Amino acid sequence: MTAPNPDERPAETAVIGDALSPKGPDLIRWRHHLHQLAETAFGEYRTASFVADIMRSLNIDVTTGIGGTGVVGTLTRGTSRRSIGLRSDMDGLPIQERTGLEYASRQEGSMHACGHDGHMTMVLGAAAALAEDENLDGTVHFVFQPAEEPGEGAAAMIADGLFDRFPMDAIFGLHNIPGLQAGQLATRAGAIMAGEDNFVITITGRGGHASAPQRVIDPLVVSAHIVIALQTIVARSIDPVSSAVVSCTDVTTDGARNAIPTVVRITGDTRNFEPEISSFLERRIREIAEHTARAHGANAEVVYTREFATTVNHPDATAMAIRVAASVVDAEFCDANTPPIMASEDFGVYAGHVPANFTLIGNGVDGATGGLPLHSHDYDFNNAVLPVGVRYYCGLVREILS
């Protein structure tokens, strides 16, 4: 895929104001192209090559294959050692798109249902604008990561030397949020997105004929007790001013309609903002599962895994993000202390290594124009948001490197 010719104007033209030169690239066309490519975690080959080609066409140094399909574009001006990272995720979701859009995904069974096509376009738009900025003094790294959805891409890029090969003083990211006014910017210092842990409880009893309960140890009944008891963790033992979620999301058995199973598996998901709460959830899930099973003569084994780090915004990076956001949008569109949300985000891994800020950008409140929920088969990123994100990213870079 070669980079689009910026002079070739399609029917739909991006309104980008002064963020780009008059001959600037077409954000909407890039976004729609990326939307059609929609590749899932660690399979973002064509997506990666598209963003790499665009950056090469802007004379930005490009490194590919970082942590799998990750790409970093590096733009250096002047002599300063200051540096900043702008990060976008690249992956789509394994969801069959049903938007009916002209530019709907061409990949059977995968779509950009989380707006990562828009995130990439905003970083590319910033790259295009900054590549023409002669006043910068320092280095910008444009970081395109694979596999945000399973929470593995950031760690993969870091393990592949992201921060050693591309040192940066701070890193910034945006995620669109349906339900907030289009272009509204919302962030906060401290935890903004929850950490996510998962668990699998395997309950082993003794299966048998459905007509002879006296001969079995029924793990399904045990699992029902456990599912209910797990709901007491947050309700009865977490401080009400803290936040946590314990959700059982699936129960499977090895039984038939007329047989009591021997094994039942409960899978689930927990959310929290603090490592102490995460440890507490793990301990209580183990205690409840193991002891409840034992009380019924069964056995329970718990596997508890940590999937997403909590995204914790650095105070200095966040102060800068708020200052820049306030210069990009009107005061009523800038929320400097938005409530944290229980969803999780791979960006939290970067925040554990360098000062970082993650900001939410409103995708709109009306259904068809940005208000439909993330991860739904009819969701679409709102093009009206693109120029706001580009200006915000350019503002951050100019704040640090000018």
Question: Rule CB under 5 A: which residues touch Zn ion?
Answer: 114
Other Cβ atoms closer than 10 A to 296? 17
Smallest distance, Zn ion to C-beta of residue 363, A: 11
Q: Which residues contact 188 (CB under 8 A, 6 or more apart)?
A: 313, 318, 336, 337, 338, 339, 340
Task: Select 177 or 281, whichever has its Cβ closest to Zn ion.
Answer: 177
Cα distances (Å, whole numbers) of residue 261 to 151, 199, 205: 33, 21, 8
* Residue 248 bridge partners (DSSP): 268
Smallest distance, Zn ion to C-beta of residue 113, A: 7
Task: Select 150 or 190, whichever has its Cβ closest to Zn ion.
Answer: 150
Smallest distance, Zn ion to C-beta of residue 185, A: 17
Pairing of β 195-204 and β 299-308: antiparallel
Spatial contact of 58 and 127, defined as CB atoms under 8 Å apart? yes
Task: Select 26 or 196, whichever has its Cβ closest to Zn ion.
Answer: 196
Smallest distance, Zn ion to C-beta of residue 352, A: 19
Smallest distance, Zn ion to C-beta of residue 307, A: 13
CA dihedral 202, 207, 213, 214 (to 10 degrees): -100
* Residue 203 bridge partners (DSSP): 264, 300
Task: Select 114 or 201, whichever has its Cβ closest to Zn ion.
Answer: 114
Residue 26: CA count within 13 A, CB half-sphere? 17
Residue type, 204: T
Task: Select 69 or 223, whichever has its Cβ closest to Zn ion.
Answer: 69
The first and second tokens of residue 284, run together, are 């209580």
Smallest distance, Zn ion to C-beta of residue 374, A: 6
Spatial contact of 16 and 121, defined as CB atoms under 8 Å apart? no
Smallest distance, Zn ion to C-beta of residue 179, A: 14
Smallest distance, Zn ion to C-beta of residue 199, A: 21
Task: Select 114 or 396, whichever has its Cβ closest to Zn ion.
Answer: 114
Task: Select 24 or 150, whichever has its Cβ closest to Zn ion.
Answer: 150
Task: Select 47 or 223, whichever has its Cβ closest to Zn ion.
Answer: 47
Residue type, 58: L
Task: Name the CA radius of gyration of the chain, rounded.
Answer: 24
Smallest distance, Zn ion to C-beta of residue 165, A: 25
Task: Select 30 or 261, whichever has its Cβ closest to Zn ion.
Answer: 30
Q: Residue with structure tokens 């966040």?
A: 318
Task: Select 114 or 322, whichever has its Cβ closest to Zn ion.
Answer: 114
Task: Select 38 or 114, whichever has its Cβ closest to Zn ion.
Answer: 114
Smallest distance, Zn ion to C-beta of residue 292, A: 34
Smallest distance, Zn ion to C-beta of residue 176, A: 8
Distance CA 87, CA 71 (A): 10
> Rounded to 5 degrees, what angle do the CA atoms 343, 288, 252 make?
65
Residue whose beta carbon is closest to Zn ion: 114
